[in-house]
A and B are shown apart, each in its own frame.
Chain A
Amino acid sequence: EAGVTQFPSHSVIEKGQTVTLRCDPISGHDNLYWYRRVMGKEIKFLLHFVKESKQDESGMPNNRFLAERTGGTYSTLKVQPAELEDSGVYFCASSQDLPLGGSTDTQYFGPGTRLTVL
């Protein structure tokens, strides 16, 4: 079974440009999460999709970030226009949906996209 994949692995852009990151979750996983680690700090939550719907986008830093998950499969995260402080590693994770009951759903992570804004 293929794991979570992310593309590109590394992106270098100039301030003001646009970048789109892609995440392909594990097949059948309804839950998709975006996280990022900036400047060696903690990994921070950005948002959570359940299928194509945004369940929680409380971690999105500002309106320069736009996430989509059309069709409930892969997701894209667009940064427009990119700023210097957006540099970091962007992780995607996916998990299965579980019936109500409180069982944990392990989140499987992709390798991340390292974004460098010059």
Chain B
Amino acid sequence: AQTVTQSQPEMSVQEAETVTLSCTYDTSESDYYLFWYKQPPSRQMILVIRQEAYKQQNATENRFSVNFQKAAKSFSLKISDSQLGDAAMYFCAYRRWRDNAGNMLTFGGGTRLMVKP
């Protein structure tokens, strides 16, 4: 079974600075997807960024980028130029390559990010 671990229950960052959230996972599969979801205090969880394991290039979405280290099974999220609106719970998630077994997401425990003005 796959597991996802987020070792930082809470993080804080000064506005405009950069912060990195850690995520490690365990799997015996070679093809899979990794995701970072953000859940602001309003509770709607939204997708921040995703990475296909077969891609060597790290995914980026504006101020959000990942450092995907497949051999180390590490998938960290870097937020540059942090803004107050980035304050949220961040969940790292794993999904198997699409197959008939289903498309469930396996989540880490989450990291609460606080942004200081």
A interface list, Cβ under 8 A from B: 3, 31, 33, 35, 41-45, 48, 55-56, 58-59, 89, 91, 93, 95, 98, 100-112
Question: Is B47 on the interface with A (CB-CB < 8 A)?
Answer: yes
Could you say which of B46, B52, B91, B103 contacts A95, with CB atoms under 8 Å apart?
A: B103
Q: Are B102 and A42 in contact (CB under 8 A)?
A: no
Query: Are A43 and B103 also in contact (CB < 8 A) when A98-B98, A111-B44 are?
Result: no
Q: Which 5 A-B pairs have the closest CB atoms?
A: A56-B102, A109-B45, A45-B104, A43-B107, A111-B43
Q: Are A42 and B46 in contact (CB under 8 A)?
A: no
B interface list, Cβ under 8 A from A: 4, 31, 33, 37, 42-47, 50, 52, 91, 95, 97-98, 101-110
The CA of A34 and the CA of B108, in the complex, are separated in Å by 17
19 example contacts (A-B, Cβ-Cβ < 8 A) are as follows A41-B109, A42-B108, A42-B109, A43-B91, A44-B107, A45-B105, A48-B102, A48-B104, A56-B101, A56-B102, A93-B105, A100-B98, A102-B98, A103-B98, A104-B52, A107-B105, A109-B46, A112-B43, A112-B45
The CA of A103 and the CA of B95, in the complex, are separated in Å by 12
